[in-house]
Chain A
Amino acid sequence: MAHTILEMKDITKTFPGVKALQNVNLQVNRGEVHAICGENGAGKSTLMKVLSGVYPHGTYEGDIVFENDVMSFSGIRDSEKSGIVIIHQELALSPYLSIAENIFLGNEQSKRGFIDWDSTNQEAAKLLARVGLKENPITPVSQIGVGKQQLVEIAKALSKDVKLLILDEPTAALNDDDSAHLLDLISHLRGQGITSIIISHKLNEIKAIADKVTIIRDGRTIETLDLQEDEISEERIIKGMVGRDLESRYPDRTPAIGDEVLRIEDWTVHHPQDPNRVIVDHANLNVRAGEVVGIAGLMGAGRTELAMSVFGRSYGKGITGKLYKNGSEIRAHSVKEAIGHGLAYATEDRKQFGLNLIEDIKRNISMAALGKLARGGFVDAGRETVVANDYRKSMNIKAPNVEAVTGKLSGGNQQKVVLSKWMFSDPDVLILDEPTRGIDVGAKYEIYTIINKLASEGKAVIVISSELPELLGICDRIYTLSEGRITADVPIAEANPEVLMQYMTKEKD
């Protein structure tokens, strides 16, 4: 019989105002590949951070039992000492150090305080052989591709006598060949007695290599399915991932849809650093006046990249395709041109890309259309204040005045400042990327109301969201995106989470 290597019991993790995990249970047997599935934001990564000590003992409730001992990790080093190694989605390699140096980073092969280079390189070569990577250990990591870098990470884990290997979306950035090799390696390691936990939303991969799958939704464990014993279909897993009620959290609206405002034709975008990687693949979509169109896609599907490349080519290289506004082709090679054509893009990451956090509300609101307030190159500060104050009232931004610094506002109020900024630029098309990410339920309702109002004013609105219920609640039509391709254009009447999730996970033929 199988022996339990890891048991996480009743794990609850609270962030200020949010319960990220609620009584989550996870049981992993020795020598199995255990997959964890869930929508974006379901709590998968948080759970793994609890397990690996990123969130140290004492910041969560519940117990971690590993090899029959209750663990109290105070950091990653602790968990690694016990044999639990996590490989994050963003690889943690130092690009200019060699493969061997990276493998032994923090764990250097030394004699009397000096690095023993012979042993470093020889041991590294042995580890590389185990993961099937044919590279010289002295090659700098920056000179090998992402797929091989992933293998270096695994070699690094093996060098630490790993017992439990956690892989967070290991194939998200890999091409098909590299993915296949990686999956082979994981099965191979299982043969050597190494247990793996793999977080993935590629259901075909999970079906191919996992023994069991645990589904997490809204911070709770839903179920654990045994893929070996029962015949589990992908649809069955999807049902577990999305099967929540569609809550009536969305304001009513009667759409009044007019003519087409924006059309994107044959839009292809390549990765800015790696010109061979296609990020958006011949995408076609359109949006009409007064229409709210959703874009659904899993992480890495290319949603933000599609939006930003359309918005003045602020993402990507080698962009081809055509943009039509009101039926005629437009050129928007810079953000300024895009704004000039009536486009607006509210970013998913308002702290990094949306706001000047050390500046006040009014200067953030005026930032994208300062010219409207200026005469002869000088800003009319009085009018600016009046305009900002109008938005503060109409958008219900909770701040004593428009001189409040945006960095101190709550997420919902920050988002309203971002929306005000774009509304002031008076666009015809608004692209809203994750407009309700990280904000509370009440503020979400307000944002939906604003979106409805924009649509009723005849603007075309594109909403990108990871939350399917949200898209189903506010959109008239939903495009699904998978691996950079538009896989479906679903009218709201035919849309439900299962249908969308199937298109979102549809592989390339």
Chain B
Amino acid sequence: MATIKDGVDFLASRLRQIGIFLALIVIIALFQVLTGGSLLQPANVTNIVVQNSYILILAIGMVMIIIAGHIDLSVGSVAAFVGAMSGVMITQWGWPWWAGILGGLVVGALVGAWQGFWVAYIGIPAFIVTLAGMLLFRGLTQMVLGNQQITPFPTEYRQLGGGFVFPELFPAATSPMEWITVGLGVIATVLLVSQQVRARAHRVKLGLEDEPLAWFLIKLLFLGGIILAITFLLASFRGTPIVLVVLGVLIVVYTAVMNRSVFGRHVYARGGNQHAAELSGINVKKVDFYLFVNMGVLAALAGLVFTGRLNSAGPGAGNLFELDAIAAAFIGGAAVSGGVGTVVGAITGGLIMGVLNNGMSLMGIGTDTQQFIKGLVLLLAVAFDVWNKRRNRG
């Protein structure tokens, strides 16, 4: 009897961690039924990934900003500005495509440094600095473009937003499966499982493991199953979108940065208790500054992906991206007061919003209702978090 109760207690303690994943699965299942199976069609899965990739990239930077206790309202405008600048570099200045991409990232870093300077060293609240940035960079975008679109972009440039990994090696015509994708999926699964097993062995050796073995195995089976299922779906369409590889690398790298790097620890410490961080010798200003530089680079990357996908840089690009990215971070468990949040959570939150969008569009639900429902989801997700926190305290 005791073991059953222990198991229930354990699940309850993990509720906050796994709640968000459960929510995503429930939403996917719901729309799979409601759309009569269209949601998980291979073409649509690819679509969901590509369509949401730039929001997910932004969500990574945003959750870091939010963990530190700030906010960034300017990312949509910055993405548009970088798209426009890279367009000017390539089409007007005649730079090669790769120089346009690198140039765009440098512009993003400079924009981030500008905002970081005001937040960290002048001490203006990030809400104000980035609200101003939202207007500033939207205005600059329009000035750079002269209110006209830049189009078309070189084919190589467009791969970032719309391309697939090695499409010519195994064209869909010659094989029912896209073998590169299958290979990538299997490698990813093996890497994940071996990393998890090693981490667990390490924890067991130190005598720190409190997770039941059964739970660990269920978790592994589940995660591996999901990766392989996505692999299968992608492989039966056109293969692996390049942006998915980029996103995968970003998720792995930033998860490591936030969990294990000194910088990541300083971000959590700064957001959890700024005074304690300062009195522990952490240079809070520097942390803030580099967070905004990082956000600028990620916003630039999102802008490049978006521009590539649309094959055009327009004055209205990236409108309201910031709100989707902020919503993703909060749905993913970040705390408004700072100090709490994870990259994986923010990605999951972004996917919840993405699946909601996609599923409702497939059902032919109007954008008015979509907005209404997304607003409700955001509110309820954060309310759940607050409730859960209070329950734990009491």
Contacts and interface: CB of A to CB of B under 8 A. Distances in A.
B339 A385 contact: no
B265 A358 contact: no
A392 B224 CA distance: 36
A385 B277 contact: no
Contacts of B266: 370
Interface stretch (B20-28, B79-87, B256-264, B311-319): B256-264
- The B interface is mostly helix, strand or loop, or mixed, namely helix
Contacts of A363: 265, 268-269
B278 A335 contact: yes
Contacts of B259: 381
Contacts of A385: 206, 208
A438 to B, nearest CB: 17
Contact of B278 (A314, A389, A403): A314
B208 A377 contact: no
A358 B206 contact: no
B176 to A, nearest CB: 43
Given A386-B206, A421-B280, A378 B260 contact: yes
B279 A345 contact: yes
A173 B208 CA distance: 51
A367 B206 contact: no
A374 B281 contact: no
Contacts of B269: 356, 359, 363, 367
Interface string B190-203: 00000000000010
Nearest to B205: A382
Interface string A358-381: 110001001110110010011101
Given A355-B273, A357-B272, A368-B281, A377 B262 contact: yes
Interface in B244-292: 256, 259-263, 265-266, 268-269, 272-273, 275-283
A374 B268 CA distance: 16
B260 A379 contact: yes
Contacts of B265: 363, 366-367, 370, 379
Contacts of B208: 385, 401-403
Nearest to A355: B276
A357 B281 contact: no
B385 to A, nearest CB: 13
Interface string A15-52: 00000000000000000000000000000000000000
A314 B278 CA distance: 8
A368 to B, nearest CB: 4
Contact of A314 (B210, B256, B261, B279): B279
Interface string A334-354: 111011000001010000111
A312 interface: yes
B263 A377 contact: yes
A370 B340 CA distance: 19
A367 B275 contact: no
Contacts of B275: 352-353
A384 to B, nearest CB: 10
Given A335-B279, A336-B283, A385-B206, A379 B272 contact: no
Contacts of B202: 382
Contacts of B279: 311, 314, 335, 345, 347, 353-354
Nearest to B283: A336
A358 B280 contact: no
B337 to A, nearest CB: 9
A339 B276 contact: no
A358 B272 contact: yes
B261 A357 contact: no
A429 to B, nearest CB: 15
Interface string B337-370: 0011000000000000000000000000000000
Interface in A451-468: none
B278 A358 contact: no
A358 B268 CA distance: 10
A371 to B, nearest CB: 7
A311 B281 CA distance: 10
Interface in A440-482: none
A311 B278 CA distance: 11
A133 B153 CA distance: 73
A366 to B, nearest CB: 8
Contacts of A359: 268-269, 272, 339
Contact of B280 (A335, A379, A401, A402): A335
Contacts of A386: 206
A357 B268 CA distance: 11
Contacts of B282: 367
A385 B199 CA distance: 13
Nearest to B280: A368
A374 B262 contact: yes
Contacts of A345: 279
A319 to B, nearest CB: 17
Interface in B93-127: none
Nearest to B282: A367
30 contacts: A312-B281, A314-B279, A339-B281, A353-B275, A355-B273, A356-B268, A356-B272, A356-B339, A357-B273, A358-B339, A363-B265, A363-B268, A363-B269, A367-B269, A367-B276, A367-B277, A370-B266, A371-B262, A377-B263, A378-B260, A378-B261, A378-B262, A379-B260, A379-B261, A382-B202, A385-B206, A385-B208, A401-B208, A401-B210, A403-B210
Given A314-B278, A355-B273, 4 more contacts: A334-B283, A335-B279, A359-B269, A377-B262
Interface of A: 311-312, 314, 334-336, 338-339, 345, 347, 352-359, 363, 366-368, 370-371, 374, 377-379, 381-382, 385-386, 389, 401-403, 421
Interface of B: 202, 206, 208, 210, 256, 259-263, 265-266, 268-269, 272-273, 275-283, 339-340
Please list the 9 inter-chain residue pairs (A to B) with the smallest Cβ-Cβ separation, ordered nearest first: A356-B272, A368-B280, A336-B281, A335-B281, A339-B281, A356-B273, A353-B275, A367-B280, A374-B262
